[in-house]
Amino acid sequence: MTAPAVETPSLEFIFHPRSIAIAGVSAKENAGFGGGGFVQSLMDIGFRGPIFLIHPTAPAIRGLKCYKSLRDIEDEVDYVISSVPARHVPGLLEDCIAKKVKVLHLFTAGFTETGDAERAKMEQSIVARAREAGIRMIGPNCMGLYVPASRLAMMGGQPPEPGHVGMVSQSGMNAGEFVRYAIPRGVRCSKVISFGNGADLKAADFFDYLADDVETEIIVAYLEGIQDGPRLAQAIRKAGAKKPVAILKSGRTEAGSRAANSHTASLAGSLDIFEGLCRQAGAIRVESLEALVDMATTFQFVKELRGPNVAVVGGGGGASVLAADDLDAAGLKVPALLPETQAALAKVTAEAGTSIRNPIDTMSMADEESFRATLLPCATAPNIDAVIYHMGVGGGPMGSRGPSNFRSRVEKQAEGLAEIQKESGKPVVVVIRQSLTPDAVAQAIAFEEMCWRSGLATYPSMSRAAHALANLLEWQRRRP
């Protein structure tokens, strides 16, 4: 074996700009998308350097001084965000070169993805000119970067606390949705990169980078197309050898492929080939954005599973039956508990309308003591590898008249579950069934937060938990 021919480019500088200029900001107040959106997002997350705006006529927008041209800015500019129309990009690029800018992020769309040959040619010549001048480009047609530690955000509402999940995404919207869905699960990001058409920097560059990045422990990706297949394959293999990797590959159908082509000029390629690549690279391929968040949650909190045998604990006969079906369908097992485990459970469980065989369907967990006395024997049982505790908020037979001391009750539950996870050395995960009213959602979020702060993975349905845990087992099998 020889060493790989391609040297990993060090992209570190891209993620730490000291100053940013934004071209193409509307002078209208509350322009929420485009240039104005980036201004607001950077202000919201508290970007620490100066933000310079470029506008042909306005003296200032949102309190920030405007410059007629990038060249008029006296200070150094590390990073430029372009929201100008496509035809103005070549001029802006010349300004970037003159100004010795390091990175040009093209939010600007209207290039190869339009299907127009002239526009594709324009994209190519922009890339050639930037490379010649040593400027790296993100995009075009993308939302750019979310880097909490550098206080860079691509959208509103992105939290400033950094985490350990790095994301590579061909869609800004899906990157944003990933970040948003991850928040209530306790999953935070190191770097999120929306790279759109990937004219200069491509998925492979970012996989390479995240594989080496010390701040990134888990890598997830949303890909629409394959650019430079062999290089991407090499980068995913490198990432997969170092860190857990989960990838959502879209455009897998004819219509999806057409949409991907319109969206980011991507050629979707064969899903079979991509699945083969993931298998070989030790990466997990998922089918939805929700599953991608579930995998990040699972890699972060569950980490490892000894085997497929799950004990399911919660109230409700119907929910228990469906849970067993969901787990089995995902490839996990719900073995009958051993006589000694059942004997331990029989001591705390009321006789009628319940089961202690597995799933454990019981209403006898109201106080701390019986909660623990029910869950601990399950977690420590020799034929069990993980425990799933399931519950609902704001529904079920207890209905809206559930105990008013919700917060303190579930706080004790979260603590109790975390203790059992620690003592047993086996994963304990929590399924919180769908909450449908604002009040119930607020309660569910509060409980979720107690759980993840105690180190527990949470899932919004049994089926999603089942698939994530089964994928973790599959990942362990694939791991190089």
Residues between 277 and 336 that touch a copy of itself (CB under 8 A): 287-290, 316-329, 333-336
Judged by CB under 8 A, the residue of 398, 407, 453, 479 near a copy of itself is 398
Closer to a copy of itself by CB, 59 or 397: give it: 397
- Which residues in 235-264 contact a copy of itself (CB under 8 A)? 250-256, 258-260, 262-264
Judged by CB under 8 A, the residue of 4, 90, 91, 157 near a copy of itself is 157
Closer to a copy of itself by CB, 241 or 336: give it: 336
Closer to a copy of itself by CB, 102 or 180: give it: 180
Cβ 76 to a copy of itself shortest distance, Å: 29
Distance of CA 283 to the CA centre of its chain: 15
Distance from C-alpha of 479 to C-alpha of 314, rounded to nearest angstrom: 33
Residue environment code for 37-72, b if the CB has 16+ CB neighbours within 10 A, otherwise e: bbbbbbbebebebebbbbbeeeeebbebebbeebee
- Which residues in 129-148 contact a copy of itself (CB under 8 A)? 141, 143
Residue environment code for 113-141, b if the CB has 16+ CB neighbours within 10 A, otherwise e: bbeeeebbebbeebbebbeeeebbbbbbb
Cα 199–Cα 201–Cα 207 angle in degrees, nearest 5: 135
Cβ 272 to a copy of itself shortest distance, Å: 15
- CA-wise closest residue to 80 among 55, 54, 59: 54
Cβ 167 to a copy of itself shortest distance, Å: 12
DSSP 8-state class, residue 459: E
Strand spans (E) along 258-325: 284-286, 310-314
Q: Please say whether the beta carbons of 333 and 309 come within 8 A.
A: yes
Site string for a copy of itself, 404-423 (x = CB under 8 A): --------------------
Closer to a copy of itself by CB, 183 or 245: give it: 183
Site string for a copy of itself, 435-464 (x = CB under 8 A): xxxxx-xx--x---------------x-x-
Cβ 289 to a copy of itself shortest distance, Å: 7
What would you measure as the largest C-alpha separation in the chain, in angstroms? 81
Cβ 261 to a copy of itself shortest distance, Å: 9
Distance from C-alpha of 30 to C-alpha of 170, rounded to nearest angstrom: 27
Residue type, 181: Y
Distance from C-alpha of 285 to C-alpha of 292, rounded to nearest angstrom: 9
- Which residues in 16-45 contact a copy of itself (CB under 8 A)? 30, 32-33, 37, 40-41
CA dihedral 343, 345, 347, 351 (to 10 degrees): -100
Q: Assess 375 for contact with a copy of itself (CB under 8 A).
A: no
Closer to a copy of itself by CB, 315 or 427: give it: 315
Sheet hosting strand 428-432, strand order edge to edge: 360-361, 310-314, 386-391, 428-432, 458-459
- Which residues in 75-114 contact a copy of itself (CB under 8 A)? 85-86, 108-110, 113-114
User: In the beta sheet, which residues pair with residue 430?
Assistant: 389, 458
Closer to a copy of itself by CB, 211 or 296: give it: 296
Closer to a copy of itself by CB, 353 or 480: give it: 353
Site string for a copy of itself, 161-190 (x = CB under 8 A): --------xxxxxxxxx--xx-xx------
Closer to a copy of itself by CB, 206 or 240: give it: 206
- Which residues in 340-369 contact a copy of itself (CB under 8 A)? 351-353, 355, 357-359, 361, 363
Identify the burial level of 1 via C-beta atoms within 10 angstroms of its C-beta, where 0-12 means exposed, 13-18 middle and 19 or more buried: exposed
Query: Six-digit token pair at 197?
Result: 């058409």
Q: Please say whether the beta carbons of 53 and 67 come within 8 A.
A: yes
Distance from C-alpha of 270 to C-alpha of 470, rounded to nearest angstrom: 24
Closer to a copy of itself by CB, 324 or 456: give it: 324
Cβ 71 to a copy of itself shortest distance, Å: 25
CB contact set of 139 (below 8 Å; sequence gap of 6+): 105, 106, 107, 108, 195, 196, 197, 198, 199
Closer to a copy of itself by CB, 19 or 83: give it: 83
Cβ 8 to a copy of itself shortest distance, Å: 27
